[in-house]
Amino acid sequence: MDCSLIRTLINRYCAGEENWVDNRTIYVGHREPPSGTEAYIPQRYPDNRIVSSKYTFWNFVPKNLFEQFRRIANFYFLIIFLVQLIIDTPTSPVTSGLPLFFVITVTAIKQGYEDWLRHKADNAMNQCPVHFIQHGKLVRKQSRKLRVGDILMVKENETFPCDLIFLSSSRGDGTCFVTTASLDGESSHKTYYAVQDTKAFHNEQDIDALHATIECEQPQPDLYKFVGRINVYHDRNEPIARPLGSENLLLRGATLKNTERIFGVAIYTGMETKMALNYQSKSQKRSAVEKSMNVFLVVYLCILISKALINTTLKYVWQSEPFNDEPWYNQKTDSARKRNLILRAFTDFLAFMVLFNYIIPVSMYVTVEMQKFLGSYFLTWDEEMFDEDTGEGPLVNTSDLNEELGQVEYVFTDKTGTLTENNMEFIECCIEGHVYIPHVICNGQILHDCSGIDMIDSSPGGSGKEREELFFRALCLCHTVQVKEDDNIDGLKKAQLSERSCVYISSSPDEVALVEGIQRLGYTYLRMKDNFMEILNPKNDIERFELLEILSFDSVRRRMSVIVRSVAGDIFLFCKGADSSIFPRVIEGKIDQIRSRVERNAVEGLRTLCVAYKKFTRKEYDSVCKLLQNAKIALHDREKKLAEAYEQIEKDLILLGATAVEDQLQEKAADTIEALQKAGIKVWVLTGDKMETAAATCYACKLFRRNTQLLELTTKKIEEQSLHDVLFDLSKTVLKHSGNLTRDNFSGLSTDMQDYGLIIDGAALSLIMKPREDGSSGNYRERFLEICRNCSAVLCCRMAPLQKAQIVKLIKLSKEHPITLAIGDGANDVSMILEAHVGIGITGKEGRQAARNSDYAIPKFKHLKKMLLVHGHFYYVRISELVQYFFYKNVCFIFPQFLYQFFCGFSQQPLYDTAYLTLYNISFTSLPILLYSLMEQHVSTDMLKREPSLYRDIAKNALLRWRVFIYWTFLGLFDAVVFFFGAYFLFDNTTVTSNGQMFGNWTFGTLVFTVLVFTVTLKLALDTHYWTWINHFVIWGSLLFYIIFSLLWGGIIWPFLSYQRMYYVFMQTLSSGPAWLGIILLITVSLLPDVLKTVLCRQLWPTATERTQIMSRHCRDHNSEFTPLSSLKNPRYRSNDYSNSPDRRSNSHSKKMMFTHWRGNDYSILPSIFGYSNNRCNSSARYCYSGSGLETSV
C-alpha cells in the first residue's frame, strides 16, 4: 500500500512549519544547473489537463447514487422501498419504488447532462495546440501534454495555456499587455514585466540556452499574489537572484494583447493553476425556507411514527379477542402462531410505516429544485434590470437563495462604485494653501462651461513655485497609468488633450482622473519608455525621469510611492495617499492649511488625497535599494518584510498639497435606499473612506435625513473618553425614546420621530471586537449591538476588508439572527459578500471579483430595489405556498388511509389502488403547484414597487411560521375527515346503483380519491390571483388527465397485472347519480371553511397586502413610485422627484445647496464665485434656503 499521501499530510500538518518548506524548485527548460552549484532534484508535477467534470464513465452511477442518497428524504424512501421488498407489506414496492426511481432518474439525467457538457469543454481546452521550445526549435503539441519547466511561446490574442513566468517579449522594453477578463472580468490592458536578466532573449536559440532555476511558493488560489525568485546562472559563477512577483506571472485564461509574442516558462500546470484552484465552490448557503422545510419534515416524520405506533397498538388490542384474531375464514398456521410477539409487532409497525409513508412528500424536493432553477430565469429576463450603458443584465450564480431575497433585514453596502458611480472627476488641488480649479474633464470629455485655470488666493512666490512644480510632477509620476494611443481602446473614446491624443488606462479611476486633471493644469504624462517616464511641461519641454522603484498601493498602508531619478541625477520619492496615512509621516509643509482644506472638501463629499515627497542622497538611495531587494527576494513572509521596508522608507516626508476628486452619486441610489428603509430594511454603509466624505455621501443618498441625529463612535471620541463611557452615553441616548417608539417599525417617513444615525470607524470597531483582559468581549459587543438596533442607519468608515466581514458576521450571529445582504463591486468587498446570507456583486469598474464571488450580480445599485421588493417578494411567497401546499395535500391524501384502519380491523388494507398511490404526487397534483410557484402574483409588480411597506408582511419568515403551518395541517386534517366520513355516511347501507348493487371497498376508495384530487386542485385554483392560459391549461388539464387515466385504468383488462380489482370501478361510480351528488357536495364542504376564513379575515383583519389589493382597484394613478396610497390625500405631501442625472458640482451655473447636520451645527454649502463657501445656519431657525443639490433638499 502506498502511504506517501498519508506521510505527506502528517509531515505537512503535524511536523511544524520549519520541517515543511512551502515552495518548489523548477528547472527552466528541464536543464540541470551547472555542476557544483546545487543538487539536481527532479520533481514530479501534474500534467496540464484541466478536469472540471465531476464524474467519469465508470464512476457516474455509484457516485451519483451516493450523492443523491445522502439527501435524507431519498434515503428514507429507499429504506421504505427495501422494507416493502423484505417483508409482506400492504402495498406493492412499486408504490414507493416508482416515485423514488422517477426522482433519482430525473436528477441523474440533469446532472449527467451538465457533466457531459463539462467533459466536452475540458476536451476542447486540453487538446488545443501550443508551441514550446525543444532543442532550440519550436515544436507544436497538445496543451494537456505540457509539463512544469517547459518554455512556451504565446502569440498575440492567444490565451495562456498554463501559469507562466514571463521571460521575454517582442517589445524592446520587456513588457507585454494582457487582459484578464476571463479571470476577474477586468477588460483593461494590464502591463506585465519580463525578468530583468532574460528580457533581451528574443529568439528560440537564446531562450533555449538559458540556465536558470525558479523557486516559488506552492500553488494557491489568490489571483493577485505570487512570491518567488529566479536564479540565473552565467557559466560557473554564482547565480544572480531576481525577485518574482505577480507582475511577472502570466495566468492561465488571460489573453495576450498588443504584443507580437512572448516567451515564458510553465510553473503551475493543470489543476494547480490559479484559475483551476478558483474552480472550488464556495461554502454552501442554506435559506431560511429550506431550514423551515427540514423542520416540518421532522414534524411529519414524528406524525408518521405516531400513526404507525397507534395503529400497531390498537391492532393488538383489537386482536386480544380470539374471534377477532382468528376469524373462521382466516385461520393462522402453526408457524404463524409460534412467531415471537415482539417480532410480529415490529413487522406490523414497519408495515404501517410503509402504508402511511406518503405523508412525507418525496417529490417536494424535486419540485422545489425545479421551481428555484426555472424561477431564476425570471430575474435574468427582467428587461428593467438590464443596463444599456454596460450592455449587461442581472446574473444568478446560485438559485438556492432566491426566496432569501424576500427575507432581508439588513443591507450592508459599499460606497465607492456601489452608491457612487466610481466615475471620478478632478475638481481641485491645493498646493501650499493655494487652490487650483482646472477645466472640467471626465473620461476624456471636456465640459465647455468652465474657463481656464482659476487661481484662488494669490499666486505662490519663490519657493512656492518650486513646490508647485514638484506637486504637478508628483501626480504625473506617482501612478500606474498606461497610455494608449489607439483611436479606441476598450470602449473609451480618444480625448483631445493639448496637441496629443492619449487615452489613459488604469485599474483605478482615481488615478486616471488625477492625471487628466493635472493635464489641464499644464503637465501631461506622455508615456513610459525603456523604464523612463516622460512628461510634457507647460513650456512644451519633455522631461524624463527614470523609474527606480514602485512602492505599490495596498488597503492597509492606504498610500503608494515611486522613487525616480531626474536627468540631473536628483533622486525623489513621491508619495500620495489618504490623509490619515500621509499626515503622520510629514515633518514639513503647510500642514494646517492643507488639513483644513482637506476636511472642508471631505464635508462636501469629495474624495481627497494628499501628496508628499522627500529627496534622497546617493548613499541613502543605496541603503533603500538594498533594503527593498532583501525584502523582495524573500520567499517567506515577503509581504510582511516589504511592509516593514515601506514603513522605514516612507517617513520624514515634506507635504506638497492635496487633491479633491468627485465621485458622482449613482442614478436613483437615494430612491433605492428610501424604498429599502420603507420596506423595514436597515441599511449600513461600510467604506474605507474618511468619515466626513462618507457622511456627506450618506446625506446625499438619503441614508441620513435632516432630522437624523448623528452619534459618533470614533477614535477621537474614545481618546476623549473611555470606550466604556462612550458606549454607555450612546446607549443612554438612543434608549431614552425606546419606551414610546418602536425602532423596528421605522419607515423613514415620519418627521416627528427622532432618528439616530451611528458613525463608527475601523479603529473603534477593533476595540469593540478585541477581547478584554478578563477574556470577555461580549459586554461591549452587546452594548454596541443594542445601540445599532435603535439607529435607523449606520455608517462604518475607515473599514478594512476583513472588518467589513466582521461587522456582517456580528449582526448575522446576534440573538435575533436576522437575514443579511451584502452588496459591493470590488475585491475588497468579497469577504463581506461571502459572509452575508445573500451576497450581491455589482459589475462595476473595479473588476469582477465581487460579481464572481457573489450569489447574484446586478449592473447598478438601483436594481437592488426591484430585486428585493418585487422578485424577492414573489420568490418567497411562491415557495412558501409550495411548501405548505405540499404538506397539506399529503395530509389530505394519507389521513383517510389512517381512518380506514379503524374500519378494517387494522389489517393494513390500503384504501387506494396502487396506481393512485404511485401517481398522486408524480402526475395528478404536481404540475399545478409547480406552475403556481412560478407565475403567481398576488399583488402586481407596479404595486410592490409603489408600496415598499408590503415587504414587511413577509418579513421574518412570516408565511412559514408555526401558526401558519398548523393552520395548513389542520385544514388538511379537516378535509381528510370530510372526504372519508362524508363518503362513509353518505353511502352507508344504501343501494346506490340502478340494479341494487352496493359499493365495494375499491369503489369507496376511488370515490374518496376523486374528491381528494378535485379538492386539492380547486383549493389551488381559489388561491390563484394571477391567471394565465398556462394556469388554466395545467389546472383543468390535470383534472382531465385524472379522469381519462381512471377511465383507461378501469376500462381495460391489463394483461401485465396479476389482479383486476379496479376493472369497471370508476365507470360504475360515475354511473351513479348519488355518487355525482356526493362528489360535488363533499368538494364544496371541504373548500367552504377555507373560503369563509379568507373572506372574514379579509374584511375584519386585513393585512397590508390585502388592503393594497382592495385599494388598487380604486386608485390607479400615483404621483410617485414611492408615494404611499394613504398619503395621497395628505396636503403636506410633496413629491420628492429627482432627475435621472444628479447635479454635478462642476456645473458652476447650477443653483444648489448642501445641508449637513454636523457636530451640533447645521451647515448649508452654497456656491460662490470661485468655488463653494460654508455658511452656518442656526438649527433652530424656522426657515432655511431650499433647493436641489448634491445632497438632500431642505
The whole model's pTM is what?
0.70
- The answer to whether 883 touches 292, Cβ cutoff 8 Å, is yes
Q: Which residue has the higher pLDDT, 860 or 1119?
A: 860
Is residue 292 pLDDT above 50, yes or no? yes
pLDDT (mean) for 576-600: 87
Residue 472 has pLDDT above 70, yes or no: yes
- The helix/strand/coil state of 662 is strand
Alpha helix locations (H) across 381-477?
462-477
| Distance in angstroms (rounded) separating the CA atoms of residues 1059 and 1069 | 19
Catalytic residue (one of 163, 400, 414, 975)? 414
What is Dmax (Cα atoms) for the chain? 125
**Other Cβ atoms within 10 Å of 423 Cβ, number:** 16
Q: What was the pLDDT predicted at 820? A: 92
**688 near 418, Cβ under 8 Å?**
no
Assess whether pLDDT exceeds 70 at residue 399: yes
Q: In this predicted structure, what is the pLDDT of residue 1034?
A: 92
Neighbouring residues of 448: CB distance < 8 A, sequence distance ≥ 6: none
Average pLDDT over residues 368-379: 86
Residue whose C-alpha cell reads 486540453 in the numeric block:
126
Q: What integer pLDDT is reported at residue 454 of this predicted model?
A: 41
- Is there a contact between 859 and 392 (Cβ–Cβ < 8 Å)? yes
Helix (H, G, I), strand (E, B) or coil at 838: strand
pLDDT at 756 > cutoff 80: yes
Q: What is the pLDDT confidence band of residue 264, given thresholds at 50, 70 and 90?
A: very high
* pLDDT value, residue 483: 78
Q: Range with the lowest mean pLDDT among 89-98, 327-336, 677-686, 980-989?
A: 327-336
Residue matched to cell numbers 465640459: 447
Contact present, 172 and 250 (Cβ < 8 Å): no
CB contact set of 732 (below 8 Å; sequence gap of 6+): none
Residues in the chain: 1194
As a whole number, mean pLDDT of residues 558-580 equals 89
Question: 110: burial class by Cβ within 10 Å (0-12, 13-18, 19+)?
Answer: middle
Q: For residue 285, which of 441, 434, 195, 401 has the smallest C-alpha distance?
A: 401
Q: How confident is the model at residue 1160 (pLDDT cuts 50, 70, 90)?
A: very low
Highest mean pLDDT among 128-142, 220-234, 765-779: 128-142
Alpha-carbon span 745 to 681, nearest angstrom: 10
Confidence of residue 154 (pLDDT cuts 50, 70, 90): very high
Q: Are 240 and 169 in contact (CB under 8 A)?
A: no
Percent of residues, the chain, with pLDDT higher than 70: 78
Mean pLDDT of 1171-1194: 34
Model pLDDT for residues 983-1022, shown as the tens digit of each residue: 888 776 555 555 556 667 778 888 889 999 999 999 999 9
H helix or E strand, kind and range, residue 829: none
Query: Do 695 and 710 meet the contact criterion of CB atoms below 8 Å apart?
Result: yes
Helices (H), 1052-1178: 1065-1070, 1073-1100, 1104-1112
> What is the sign, positive or negative, of the torsion defined by CA atoms of 908, 912, 915, 916?
negative
Place of cell 508551441: 131
Kindly report, residue by residue over 102-134, the tens digit of the pLDDT. Answer: 878 887 887 888 788 878 878 888 888 999 888
What's the whole-number average pLDDT of the chain? 77
**Separation between Cα atoms, residue 523 and residue 519, nearest integer Å:** 5
> DSSP code of 392?
B
Residue with cell 514550446: 132
* Cα 355 from Cα 897, distance rounded (Å): 8
φ/ψ of 284, rounded to 5, equals: -70, 130
- Look up 414 and say whether it is catalytic: yes
Confidence of residue 658 (pLDDT cuts 50, 70, 90): very high
| Residues 324 and 905 sit within 8 Å (Cβ to Cβ) | yes
Supply the pLDDT for residue 1018.
93
Summarised one tens digit per residue, pLDDT across range 671-707 is 898 899 888 899 999 887 777 777 777 877 888 887 7
Average pLDDT value for residue range 227-247: 83
Query: Which amino acid is residue 444, in one-letter code?
Result: G
Separation in Å, CA 222 to CA 183, 253, 761, 806, 850 = 11, 14, 28, 21, 14
Whether the pLDDT of residue 299 is over 70: the answer is yes
Average pLDDT estimate for 390-417 = 85
Q: What pLDDT is stored for residue 1039 in this prediction?
A: 92
Q: Is 173 exposed, middle or buried (0-12, 13-18, 19+ CB in 10 A)?
A: middle
pLDDT of 1061: 66
List helix spans (H) across 633-777.
638-649, 669-678, 691-700, 715-720, 723-735, 762-769
